[in-house]
């Protein structure tokens, strides 16, 4: 039995945050009903490599779900959602503050119909403040949350993935499951607000803001951990990363490379001195690594038990034996998209990987079957199809 079996989630979303959060819970057993507009649906359907009318990006964020098309801008569509809510455990959306309230589908409206409902509202910047109504995409939040300030050494730079979207999704998933746990003890649902800005800052703060944490005047700033560890080490034929993060590992790495004389150099003979002279240390070490091939360096570090790795390209990542041993990647047949590669959800419950959900749905694929599952009369369902409320 998957841990969230028996939980029903109603998802109203576009793009990544709510979609990816709901998919994670779907992988853990929840029933997720994705509500999309009648016309084009979620814009994510059309971004990236596409086959059968579904993009790979959409497929990677929406497998296992049931997709319905409801025009929630109509009174009949809003009434339909309200009729579904008493049989739903979670509502999650990522619309701007106030949008769902204007439709009569806000937290107070829906929780009045179901006191056990967990209502989760994701926004870019939060429900108050000067940016409340501002549009937010991942690069904007990276710029505002300090992530670009942390990535670049010579000026701002981006983390070249939808990091804030996905971190917000993980945060939302954890918050919802925590609220479900609280409901088990109290019987009551609750409202959850979550902004991408807050999620991004919370994520980057522990290491990225080391020198903005302690506020007394006698605090001694130090180089950031990321500035010490996150450099490529260039070899004779490529590059590796050597992550000697402790004094003992640093000692073993220097001995392995024949540079043990640096252990007694006053500039580097303690972690404190090493950190203080890190740029000079890196320059000296870099010269020695250029004498060896990548394979030779990896072998030396493995023998010394120092974390070290070749930086793999994407094909090499997917081919590596460790992922095969973990059973992390699987190839499935999608009825519309053909053969496709998926990555399984990472948690192992009871030591076993969760089986992935059904392939991502076509636009409106489950509208009729979902409405029937909520015990709506056949006449009402046909009337809504005829009136263009659903499709």
pLDDT of residue 98: 94
What pLDDT, on a 0 to 100 scale, did the predictor assign at position 263? 84
Indicate the pLDDT class of residue 377, thresholds 50, 70 and 90: very high
Q: Strands 348-349, 352-353: parallel, antiparallel or unpaired by DSSP? A: antiparallel
Record the pTM. 0.92
What would the mean pLDDT of 102-131 be, rounded to a whole number? 96
User: Residue 150 CB: number of other CB atoms within 10 A?
Assistant: 19
Angle at 177 between CA 127 and CA 172, to 5 degrees: 35
Find the mean pLDDT for residues 7-27: 96
What is the pLDDT averaged over residues 356-364? Answer: 92
Instruction: Identify the pLDDT of residue 141.
Output: 96
Q: Please report the domains of the chain, with CATH numbers, ordered by start residue.
A: 8-205+325-387 (3.40.50.10540), 233-310 (3.30.1540.10)
pLDDT of residue 125: 95
The crossing angle, in degrees rounded to 10, of helices 247-256 and 294-303 is 130
Query: Which residues are CB-contacts of 114 (< 8 A; sequence separation ≥ 6)?
Result: 85, 86, 88, 189
171-229 per-position pLDDT tens digit: 999 999 999 999 999 999 999 999 999 999 999 999 999 989 989 999 888 877 777 77
> What is the reported pLDDT for 226?
77
């Amino acid at each position: 039995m998957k841990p969230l079996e028996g939980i029903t989630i109603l998802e109203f979303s576009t793009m990544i945050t709510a979609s990816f959060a709901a998919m994670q819970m779907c992988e853990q057993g929840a029933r997720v009903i994705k509500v999309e507009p009648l016309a084009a649906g979620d814009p994510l359907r059309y971004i990236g490599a596409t086959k059968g009318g579904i993009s790979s990006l959409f497929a990677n964020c929406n497998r296992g779900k049931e997709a319905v098309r409801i025009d929630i801008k109509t009174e009949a569509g809003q009434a339909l959602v309200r009729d579904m809510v008493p049989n739903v455990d979670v509502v999650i959306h990522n619309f701007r503050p106030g949008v769902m309230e204007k439709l009569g589908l806000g937290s107070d409206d829906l929780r009045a119909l179901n006191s056990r409902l967990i209502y989760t509202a994701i926004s870019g910047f939060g429900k108050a403040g000067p940016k409340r109504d501002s549009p937010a995409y991942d690069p904007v939040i990276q710029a505002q949350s300090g992530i670009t300030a942390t990535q670049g050494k010579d000026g701002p730079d981006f983390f070249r993935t939808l990091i804030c979207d996905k971190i917000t999704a993980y945060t939302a998933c954890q918050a919802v499951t925590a609220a479900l746990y609280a409901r088990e003890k109290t019987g009551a649902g609750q409202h959850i607000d979550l902004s991408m800005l807050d999620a991004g800052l919370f994520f980057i703060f522990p290491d990225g803001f080391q020198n903005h944490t302690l506020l007394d005047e006698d605090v001694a700033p130090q180089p950031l951990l990321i500035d010490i560890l996150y450099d490529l080490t260039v070899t004779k034929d490529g590059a590796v990363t050597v992550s000697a993060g402790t004094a003992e590992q640093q000692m073993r790495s220097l001995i392995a490379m024949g540079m043990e004389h640096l252990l007694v150099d006053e500039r580097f003979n303690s972690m404190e001195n090493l950190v203080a002279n890190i740029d000079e240390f890196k320059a000296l070490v870099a010269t020695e690594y250029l004498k060896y091939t990548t394979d030779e360096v990896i072998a030396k570090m493995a023998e010394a038990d120092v974390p070290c790795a070749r930086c793999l390209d994407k094909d090499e990542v997917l081919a590596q034996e460790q992922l095969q041993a973990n059973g992390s990647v699987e190839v499935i047949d999608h009825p519309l998209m053909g053969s496709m590669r998926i990555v399984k959800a990472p948690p192992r419950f009871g030591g076993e990987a969760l089986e992935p959900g059904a392939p991502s749905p076509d636009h409106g694929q489950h509208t009729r079957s979902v409405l029937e599952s909520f015990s709506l009369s056949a006449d009402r369902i046909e009337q809504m199809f005829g009136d263009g409320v659903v499709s």
